[in-house]
Chains A and B, each alone.
Chain A
Amino acid sequence: MIVCVAVVGHQNNPLYIQSFTEADDALKLHHIVHCSLDVIDERVNNPKKSGPTLNETFLGLLYPTENYKVYGYLTNTKVKFIVVTTDLDVRDADVRNFFRKFHVAYVDAVSNPFHVPGKKITSRTFAERVSTIVKSFGLSSAG
């Protein structure tokens, strides 16, 4: 189950953070997201493998904490998507799928002419689409 998604801009400024748990640990999730930014920087600046996976957008599992797994995705425009999930047996393909749908929703939100680049995304449509994608992530990996 996904507990938190975040969009971080290219200057590491938060553009959208949303947690999907009823518990009150939003701050802890924000902290996890913040720490994962360092991991992303390190992955991008010191690529471990060369070849076809060098410039991929999907960065994979960033780091596992005791209860959570954090996945990252870096777009061409240096915008980072971070997903924190509590599932222990998440498949790579599911997360990639999730990020693809999330990227589409993000592009649509940013194409809004009233959206100021660099500021937070305030679109309700984007928030609804994201919660739909998050809910369908849980269903597809359970099935």
Chain B
Amino acid sequence: MGREVSESCVDSLLTEMVSSYCDRFYANKPELAARRIEAIGFQVGHQLSERYTMERPRFSDNLEAIKFICKDFWSELFKKQIDNLKTNHKGTFVLQDNRFRWLARMSIDPSSEDGDLSQDNSAPVTENKAAQATSMHLYFPCGIIRGALSNLGIPCAVSADISSLPACELLVMECIRLYLLSYAHCIAFISTARYSFFSQSRSSCMIIVIFHPCISERALRFR
């Protein structure tokens, strides 16, 4: 299909989507907005994976599918490949992109809103605000990856973390587990709700505590 759209249109669309969902539709419920954006990403990823696996032979295992995501899928979407892929060989993969295209044009306003912060505190505070502001923009690509992998037969949960602005890391965890991410703002992602908390067998990090105050029982039964 030969139709092209300019990249600035895609950037504007994504920015507008995040701002509509966060500021208008679900104004005081950021976790609901995040879930909706991630669901949109899921559908897009589902359909894109159909298109981009069209000419290829079938994948023989999960690692090949993840490598497809890192190389071909990422090149089709972002014109570059993933810079670093790490795995613990137990179903968790970390994809690192040192210059994520959709974050490349974002910057954080360095002046903080509270005028009475001392100079010492400003660096970690602005980093915190940066993480908060940009984390909403990462739900869509997480959804895309989750949709693509689930269409290839690998149910998983995907979460993202930003260390420094245009670099980001995406953590892909194959299903069935409830995880705690060890960052200051903890978010628990659940991929299938069919298994109870205590049925972990292979994983060594059997963590059940959830820090995020907004995750409720309803969220735990999500999907």
Binding site for B on A (CB under 8 A): 10, 54-57, 74-79, 103-104, 106-108, 110-111, 113, 117
- A57 and B58: CB pair below 8 A? yes
- CB contacts (< 8 Å) of B60 on chain A: these are 54-55
Closest 3 CB pairs of A and B: A76-B53, A55-B58, A55-B57
Residue B49 interfacial (CB < 8 Å): yes
Q: Complex formed: what's the CA distance from A74 to B54 in Å?
A: 11
Q: A110 — which chain B residues lie within 8 A by C-beta?
A: 47, 50
**Which residues of B sit under 8 angstroms from A75, Cβ to Cβ?**
50, 53-54, 58
Chain A residue numbers with a CB within 8 Å of B43 are 113, 117
Q: Check B53–A77 contact: CB distance below 8 A.
A: yes
Interchain CA distance A79-B47 in the complex, whole Å: 13
Interface size on B, residues (CB 8 A): 17
A74, B58: Cβ atoms under 8 Å?
Answer: yes
Contact of B58 among A56, A103, A104, A108 (CB under 8 A): A56
Nearest B residue to A79, CB-CB: B50
Asked if A108 contacts B1 (CB within 8 A), the reply is yes
Q: Say how far B81's CB is from chain A's closest CB, in angstroms.
A: 19
Contact at B50–A107, with CB atoms within 8 Å? yes
**Given known contacts A10-B153, A78-B153, is B54 in contact with A107 (CB within 8 Å)?**
yes
* Interface contact A104-B59, CB-CB below 8 Å: no
Q: Do A117 and B57 touch (CB < 8 A)?
A: no
Which of B50, B53, B60, B151: most chain A CB closer than 10 A?
B50
Contact of B50 among A74, A77, A113 (CB under 8 A): A77
Q: Which residues of A contact B90 (CB under 8 A)?
A: none
Q: How far is the CB of B15 from chain A (nearest CB, A)?
A: 20
The 15 listed contacts between A and B (C-beta, < 8 Å) are A55-B57, A55-B58, A55-B59, A56-B57, A56-B58, A76-B56, A77-B49, A106-B50, A110-B47, A110-B50, A111-B50, A111-B51, A113-B43, A117-B43, A117-B151
